[in-house]
Amino acid sequence: MFVLPPPPRYSTTAGHNGLPPGTALPMIETNNILSNPSGPEYQFLVGEGLYVLKEDLHLATPPPHPSETPLANPNPLSTAPQSATAGTRLTLLNLDVNPLSPAIYRTASRSDGAHGGVQESPDERQSSTDLRESSSDAGRMSSVDNSLFRANTNTPAFGEGNTLLAPAAQKDPNKRRKPKNNMTKSNSSFISRVINHESLPKRLQERARDGLFAFANINRAFQWLDLSSPTKAEYLTKILFTKAHCLCHDVNKLTKSATHIDVVMGFSTGEIIWWEPISQRYTRLNKNGSINGTPVSQIEWIPGAENLFLASHMDGTLVVYDKEKEDSIFAPEDEGNPRASGDTNGTGRVNYTSQIYVHKSVHSRNQKANPVAVWKLSNQRINAFAFSPDNQHLAVVSEDGTLRIIDYLKEALLDLHYSYYGGLTCVCWSPDGKYVVTGGQDDVISIWCPSESPALIARCQGHHSWVTSVAFDPWRCDERNYRFGSVGEDRRLCLWDFSVGMLHRPRAASVRQRGSISSRPGVSPLHRAETFATAGTSGSGRLRSDSNLSSSGAPLGAADGERERVLPHPVEPRATTATLPPVLSKTVDDDVLCWLGFTSDAILTSCKNGKQSQSPT
C-alpha cells in the first residue's frame, strides 16, 4: 500500500523555486480540475445497471516543499531511504446523521447518502436502480442495526472500566473541545501553508446539509472538499505540510456536527495531527515521533470513542492515542504485558505468531498522557487495519502477509492467517461482520470467515497486479449475498459477488447467524470470539495454570492461556480452495488506483496522483 511517490509531473530539471521570472511552469499543479469524460470506455455494465463515469476530479499534487532539495538527475541506485507515501485516500462525510448513538454503524454515514441528491441520476435506469437498492438497503440496515444492538449490549466500550480514560466532563455536551492551536496563524515548521477558500464561511452556510464532504490526502497536501457543491473542484481548505507526507486520515463519525468535525491525520514522520476544520484549529500528537517515530500507515477513530483513535505504525505497532492528551516519552510497561514473560521459552525470542505484545494496556493506571495503549504485533510493517462492525474485533494486515484478528477490547490475538504469498495490503469487514476480505501482493483477494476452520472461504482472481483497496458495497449486500469491490495497481476496478451457497464448502452453522462473530455460538476450537462476549463465564475455563493474571483485571487474564491455541494457520493449498471470478474487471483509470469507496449510488475510486473519479450507477 505504501508505494513510492509517483514520478513528479513537473519537470525536475527546472527547479520550482529560484527560477528566473517569466519562466513558465506549466507542470505545477495548483488547482483541482474537474472533468466529465464520456464515452463507452468510461462505462461498464453489471447486474444492477450501467455505471457511467460521472466526474473525474483531479486533485492538484503538490510539488515538494522549496526547502526540500529537488531531485536532479536521480541516481536510480541511490540507496537513500525513500520516504513513505500513500496515494490519495479519501474519507467521505455526511453531517446529516444523528451523531449521538454510540452504536453507530460504521457505514452509517454512507447510508445517509441514499436519500440524498448528492449526484443527480443521469438517466432513468439510474433512478430505478436507486429505488430498488434503497429499499433493499433499508431492510438490510435495520437488521444489521438489530444485531449490532444485540452485540453492543454485551460489549463494553473500549477502555471501559478504566475511569482514567473517561473524557473530562463537559458543561455543555454539545460543545466540543477544540484543538489548541490556530492552523491559519500557525508558525509551526511542520505546516507550510494553509489556504482557505475565500468564501469558506459562506459556502459552509449555504451548502445542503446532507451533502457529502470529502477529505483527501495527496502527498504533502490535505484537502477538504465539498462534493455537493457545484464548485466541488474548489477546495474548502487546503493544507500544505512542509516535508511530511500525509498518509492517512479519518473523521470521527461520532462527534461530527455542523459545527465540529474531528479529523486525525497520520504522517510519514509518525506524527499525528488532530484538526478541526470548522474552527481551523489543530493539535500535534506524537510530536517528533516521541512515542513512535515510524510512519503511520492507517489511522482510525475507535468506534464509539470521542477521543481515542488507533494508529498503525510501520514498525508493526498499534498505538491508541487520546486526542486531548499530551505526549510523553513512552517506555513499555511491564505490568501491562503479562504475556511477554510467559512466552519466552528459554530463548528470550519473541514469538509474534502466537500473541500480541501489550506494551501498554488500555487498562494501565498510568493514563495521564499519550499513548493510551501500545500493542506490538510484529516487526513487519502494518499495512492496514479495520474495525469489525460490532466494534469488538480488529483485522490487521501486514507486509509479511499476515491477517490478524484481534480482540482489541481484550487486547488479545485471536487468529493469525497467511496470504497465499506476499504481503497483504488492505482489509475490510463485510457489513454484517461475518467475513473479512483482504487484498495483497499475490494479486488475489481472499475471503475469510474468522469463525470457521479453515477460515479461508475463497480466493478471488481477477486483478493483474497487487490489490490496493477493498471495500464492501453495503447497498448491495444482504443476508446471503455480498458485493464488494477492489482496486489495484493494475488500474482495474473489480466487482465481486459471492454468496454463501455459491461457494462450495457447506457451512451450515454460520448461514443463519447474523451479525458479528461474537454473537455466534461457534464450536470450532479456533473460534474463541464468542467467549469474549461473555468473558466472565467462559473465560475462567480457558485459564491455564501458568497464566499470571495481571493486575489490570480479569478480562485481560482470560486471554492469557490461549497462547497455544493461537497457532498460525497453514496456508491453504490452491487445490482445496474455491476461486471466485469477478463480475466485473475494468481498467478505470490511467494511473495506479489506491482507494475505493461506495456510496449508495456511486463508486468512488482514487489513484496515486490525486485523481478521484466517480462512477455513479
Nearest distance from C-beta of residue 14 to another protein, angstroms:
15
Q: Which CB, 462 or 555, lies closer to another protein?
A: 462
Nearest distance from C-beta of residue 322 to another protein, angstroms:
22
Asked whether position 461 contacts another protein by CB under 8 A, the answer is yes
Nearest distance from C-beta of residue 332 to another protein, angstroms:
15
For another protein, the binding residue among 309, 418, 482, 595 (CB under 8 A) is 418
Place of cell 491477517: 403
For another protein, the binding residue among 193, 464, 542, 569 (CB under 8 A) is 464
Question: Which of these, 315, 298, 403, lies nearest to 359 by C-alpha position?
Answer: 315
* Cα-based torsion angle of the residue sequence 299, 304, 305, 309 in order, rounded to the nearest 10 degrees: -10
**Residues between 545 and 574 with contacts to another protein, criterion CB under 8 A:** 568, 570-571, 573-574
Q: What residues contact 580, with CB distance under 8 A and at least 6 apart?
A: 447, 458, 459, 460, 461, 496, 498, 503
> Which residue type does 371 have?
P
Asked whether position 49 contacts another protein by CB under 8 A, the answer is no
Asked whether position 610 contacts another protein by CB under 8 A, the answer is no
Q: Is the Cβ–Cβ distance between 603 and 615 less than 8 Å? A: yes
Asked whether position 143 contacts another protein by CB under 8 A, the answer is no
458 in the Ramachandran plot: left (φ > 0), alpha (ψ -120 to 50) or beta?
beta
Q: Is the Cβ–Cβ distance between 283 and 323 less than 8 Å? A: yes
Asked whether position 582 contacts another protein by CB under 8 A, the answer is no
Nearest distance from C-beta of residue 78 to another protein, angstroms:
4
Q: Which CB, 349 or 368, lies closer to another protein?
A: 349
Query: Whole-angstrom Cα distance, residue 452 to residue 513?
Result: 13
Asked whether position 18 contacts another protein by CB under 8 A, the answer is no
Give the length of the chain. Answer: 617
Q: Is the Cβ–Cβ distance between 192 and 222 less than 8 Å? A: no
What are the DSSP E strand ranges found in 335-480?
Answer: 357-360, 373-376, 382-387, 393-398, 402-407, 412-418, 424-429, 436-440, 444-448, 456-461, 467-472
Asked whether position 106 contacts another protein by CB under 8 A, the answer is no
Q: What residues contact 20, with CB distance under 8 A and at least 6 apart?
A: none
Q: Which CB, 305 or 588, lies closer to another protein?
A: 588
Coil, strand or helix at 398: strand
Nearest distance from C-beta of residue 492 to another protein, angstroms:
9
Asked whether position 375 contacts another protein by CB under 8 A, the answer is no
For another protein, the binding residue among 401, 450, 557, 616 (CB under 8 A) is 401
Nearest distance from C-beta of residue 287 to another protein, angstroms:
8
Q: How far from 278 is each of 112, 198, 224, 498, CA to CA, in Å?
A: 22, 14, 11, 42
Nearest distance from C-beta of residue 424 to another protein, angstroms:
11
Nearest distance from C-beta of residue 90 to another protein, angstroms:
21
Question: Which of these, 271, 268, 283, 191, lies nearest to 237 by C-alpha position?
Answer: 191
Strand partners, 402: 418
* Cα-based torsion angle of the residue sequence 439, 451, 499, 93 in order, rounded to the nearest 10 degrees: -60
**Residues between 269 and 328 with contacts to another protein, criterion CB under 8 A:** 269-271, 288-289, 293-295, 313-316
Q: Is the Cβ–Cβ distance between 33 and 58 less than 8 Å? A: yes
Coil, strand or helix at 193: strand
Q: Which CB, 553 or 568, lies closer to another protein?
A: 568
Count the residues of the shown chain that bind another protein, applying the rule CB under 8 A.
70
Asked whether position 584 contacts another protein by CB under 8 A, the answer is no
Coil, strand or helix at 237: strand
Asked whether position 350 contacts another protein by CB under 8 A, the answer is yes
Asked whether position 481 contacts another protein by CB under 8 A, the answer is no
Nearest distance from C-beta of residue 508 to another protein, angstroms:
28
Q: Which CB, 94 or 268, lies closer to another protein?
A: 268
Nearest distance from C-beta of residue 221 to another protein, angstroms:
15
Asked whether position 83 contacts another protein by CB under 8 A, the answer is yes
For another protein, the binding residue among 150, 193, 243, 569 (CB under 8 A) is 243
Q: Is the Cβ–Cβ distance between 490 and 480 less than 8 Å? A: no
- Give the strand pairing for 456-461 and 578-580: parallel
Enter the C-alpha cell of residue 543.
485459564
> Which residue type does 384 have?
A
Q: Which CB, 80 or 523, lies closer to another protein?
A: 80
Asked whether position 353 contacts another protein by CB under 8 A, the answer is yes
Q: Which CB, 214 or 291, lies closer to another protein?
A: 291
Asked whether position 12 contacts another protein by CB under 8 A, the answer is yes
Asked whether position 7 contacts another protein by CB under 8 A, the answer is yes
Q: Which CB, 295 or 539, lies closer to another protein?
A: 295
Nearest distance from C-beta of residue 356 to another protein, angstroms:
14
Query: Whole-angstrom Cα distance, residue 238 to residue 475?
Result: 32
Enter the C-alpha cell of residue 116.
440524498
Enter the C-alpha cell of residue 444.
488475489
Asked whether position 329 contacts another protein by CB under 8 A, the answer is no
Per-residue string for binding with another protein, 197-216, x by CB under 8 A? Answer: --------------------
Query: Whole-angstrom Cα distance, residue 168 to residue 30?
Result: 42
Q: Which residues bind another protein (CB under 8 A)?
A: 4, 6-7, 12, 69-72, 74-84, 189, 243-244, 268-271, 288-289, 293-295, 313-316, 349-353, 378-381, 399-401, 418, 420-423, 441-443, 461, 463-466, 489-491, 568, 570-571, 573-575, 592
